[in-house]
Amino acid sequence: MSDAVHEHGPNCDCESCGDPRSMDFLDKYLTVWIFAAMAVGVGLGFVAPSVTQPIQDFHLVEIGLVAMMYPPLAKADYSQLRAVFSNWRVLGLSLVQNWLIGPTLMFGLAVFFFSGLVPGLPARPEFFLGLVFIGMARCIAMVLVWNELAEGSTEYVTGLVAFNSLFQIVTYGVYIWFFGLFLPPLLGMETLVAGIETFNVTPTQVFEAIVIFLGIPFAGGFLTRYVGTRTKGVEWYEEQFVPKIDPLTLVALLFTVIVMFATQGGAIVASPGDVLLIAVPLTIYFVAMFFVSFGMGKGIGADYSTTTAIGFTAASNNFELAIAVAVAVFGVGSGVAFATVVGPLIEVPVLLALVNVALYFQRKFDWEGATTGASVDARSSPSTEDD
């Protein structure tokens, strides 16, 4: 997906900046492509159920997921971490949003909709875990697109993406264990716990999946950027190499969706309402996280560009990682994996709508007195990773 941020900067006055119409054609209609890929996969699985075996034998889903994770990790500018760490107030706010409020909110929504505690909503442990997998994975890719369209701070968002890329390598498995396996029994969710226990999932399985599906593409992406910027220069890397690998994420995502849904063709045809059921808590999550984070940023005196960067970072999720780990732990045909695939289907249109909300807030509120982040943004300059 086209996550590269153009050189005009967050406060650029050119006509394309902040206009959702300027979004790359493939990215703008990502929801359409995902729907189309789902339809192709479901049709293939429904017409030819035997296709499931070769998909599993040749590990096509796993290959697609690794390919999907590589580009955003290769594009993340890890040298921008210094900009994030230069302002502890903004960094602290982003940490609270991404690693406390976000996971807790998603857990609460998963409990409400899928634990069986609410009358009329039966326990669906597979969807509960799917939402947990999504909620614990912080965004490292599409947030760059939303931030650019909303005229957010390029420096802060790339720094936060780099930080999240590193931080979730260590924390993602711990969060999955805590919210998915440890906390439900303590809260007395007997029906839900009984369903989770049938999966026989262990923390070790989760950590192994993270090492493969985040560790390998991260190592490849980091080394690619390190070698590329030092042998060819930052300008060549950003303007020549990145555009070449950019489409790989979308191609790999659509390929993965096709083969995943091909293994579940019959089940999906039998219960199309499950997509809508999963969509409700996801929509609530994205909208709530955006407004809470935006309000907190404005509350600490951050300027518009910084508030927008931390707001969209908190409201987005790394669905690539969630899909990968769910597939590795539960299998490509599981309900957990199915729930994670619904993530990008809902996130794209909701976050695109929130871009327009952010631009409205930019016009509506007085940002003249905001200072937090302004001093860092003023020092912004093109990345010089050769320093």
pLDDT at 155 over 50: yes
Averaged over 268-286, what is the pLDDT? 87
pTM score: 0.76
Q: Length of the chain, please?
A: 387
What is the spatial distance between Cα 87 and Cα 374, in angstroms, rounded to a whole number?
A: 10
pLDDT band at 95 (very low <50, low <70, confident <90, very high): confident
Provide Rg for the chain, Cα atoms: 20
List the single range of 102-106, 307-311, 377-381 with lowest mean pLDDT: 377-381
Domain boundaries 24-378, corresponding CATH code:
1.20.1530.20
pLDDT at 17 over 70: no
Which residue shows structure tokens 């499950």? Answer: 274
Share of the chain above pLDDT 70, in %: 86
Of the candidates 321, 340, 273, the residue with the CA atom closest to the CA atom of residue 131: 340
How many C-alpha atoms does 319 have within 13 Å on its Cβ side? Answer: 25
The predicted pLDDT at position 250 comes to 81
The answer to whether the CB of 27 falls within 8 A of the CB of 250 is yes
What's at 14, amino acid-wise?
A: C
- Of 30-44, 75-89, 224-238, 265-279, highest mean pLDDT: 224-238
pLDDT band at 362 (very low <50, low <70, confident <90, very high): very high
pLDDT at 23 over 70: no
- Give φ, ψ of 372 to 5 degrees: -60, 120
The predicted pLDDT at position 241 comes to 94
Q: Which two tokens stand for residue 330?
A: 């539960």
Q: How many helices (DSSP H) and strands (DSSP E) are in the chain? A: 22, 0
- Distance of alpha carbon 188 from its chain centroid, rounded? 30
The answer to whether the CB of 263 falls within 8 A of the CB of 333 is yes
pLDDT band at 192 (very low <50, low <70, confident <90, very high): confident
Mean residue pLDDT of the chain comes to: 81
pLDDT at 306 over 80: yes
Give the number of other CB atoms < 10 A from CB of residue 57. 8
CA distances from 207 to 65, 168, 171, 313, 325 (A): 16, 11, 10, 24, 9
Averaged over 238-266, what is the pLDDT? 84
pLDDT at 354 over 90: yes
Give the number of other CB atoms < 10 A from CB of residue 72. 26
Which residue shows structure tokens 């949003």? Answer: 97
373: left (phi over 0), alpha (psi -120 to 50) or beta: left
Averaged over 159-186, what is the pLDDT? 86
The predicted pLDDT at position 26 comes to 63
Averaged over 317-324, what is the pLDDT? 84
- The one-character DSSP state at 198 is T
- Give φ, ψ of 373 to 5 degrees: 95, -20
The answer to whether the CB of 341 falls within 8 A of the CB of 260 is yes
What is the spatial distance between Cα 129 and Cα 52, in angstroms, rounded to a whole number?
A: 23
The answer to whether the CB of 288 falls within 8 A of the CB of 102 is no
What is the spatial distance between Cα 357 and Cα 152, in angstroms, rounded to a whole number?
A: 13
What is the spatial distance between Cα 154 and Cα 140, in angstroms, rounded to a whole number?
A: 14
pLDDT band at 24 (very low <50, low <70, confident <90, very high): low
Q: Select the more confidently predicted residue: 382 or 305.
A: 305
- Give φ, ψ of 3 to 5 degrees: -90, -10
pLDDT band at 25 (very low <50, low <70, confident <90, very high): low
What is the spatial distance between Cα 64 and Cα 169, in angstroms, rounded to a whole number?
A: 20
Beta strands in 257-384 (DSSP E): none
What is the spatial distance between Cα 356 and Cα 149, in angstroms, rounded to a whole number?
A: 9
The predicted pLDDT at position 228 comes to 95
